[in-house]
Amino acid sequence: MRKPFLLTLLFLVGCGVTFPTNGPVHWHATVELNICGDLIDLPRIPPGQGHLGASLLHTHDDNIIHVEGVVQRPEDITVGRFFRSIGMDVTSESVGEYGKTLSCGGSGQLTAYVNGEEDPDFLDHSVRDGDVIQLMFG
């Protein structure tokens, strides 16, 4: 029984994140949107603004989620919140109109990966520094 305990301990130490965070953080997670086989960009920053989204959760024309500030709760920085903060309509089955009124002539399925693993609950994933979020619609 020692080994599972040790693994659990290593897991907790390896995560190393407690909430609220110990002061402001500045984390980056990559977003890759593959729609009908094409890589598309996140929405761009409106003219005259420094970023798109909320101060805690935003993007800078770089297809990267920026988490900046003190994070009170893990649910404050989920992938779903990020998309809402930048005004992008993403559900577990659709990206914008893709999956609702548009398809690519394929299966019309959205498949999401978080750090290389398929994750149907990606919208509830709480972003961590270095994460890679991939959405494939086709």
How far apart CA 138 and CA 105 sit, in angstroms, is 8
By beta-carbon distance, which residue lies closest to Zn ion?
Answer: 66
Cβ proximity to Zn ion: between 120 and 130 the closer is: 130
CB of 49 to Zn ion, least distance (A): 15
CB of 41 to Zn ion, least distance (A): 17
Number of alpha carbons in the 13 Å side-chain half-sphere of residue 125: 23
Cβ proximity to Zn ion: between 66 and 81 the closer is: 66
CB of 61 to Zn ion, least distance (A): 12
Q: Calculate the CA dihedral of residues 74, 79, 81, 85 and round it to 10 degrees.
A: 130
Cβ proximity to Zn ion: between 81 and 99 the closer is: 81
CB of 66 to Zn ion, least distance (A): 4
- For residue 107, list its beta bridge partners: none
How far apart CA 24 and CA 104 sit, in angstroms, is 41
Cβ proximity to Zn ion: between 66 and 125 the closer is: 66
CB of 89 to Zn ion, least distance (A): 24
Cβ proximity to Zn ion: between 53 and 99 the closer is: 53
**Chain positions contacting Zn ion, by CB under 5 A:** 66
On whether the CB atoms of residues 126 and 22 are closer than 8 A, the answer is no
How far apart CA 40 and CA 42 sit, in angstroms, is 7
On whether the CB atoms of residues 27 and 129 are closer than 8 A, the answer is yes
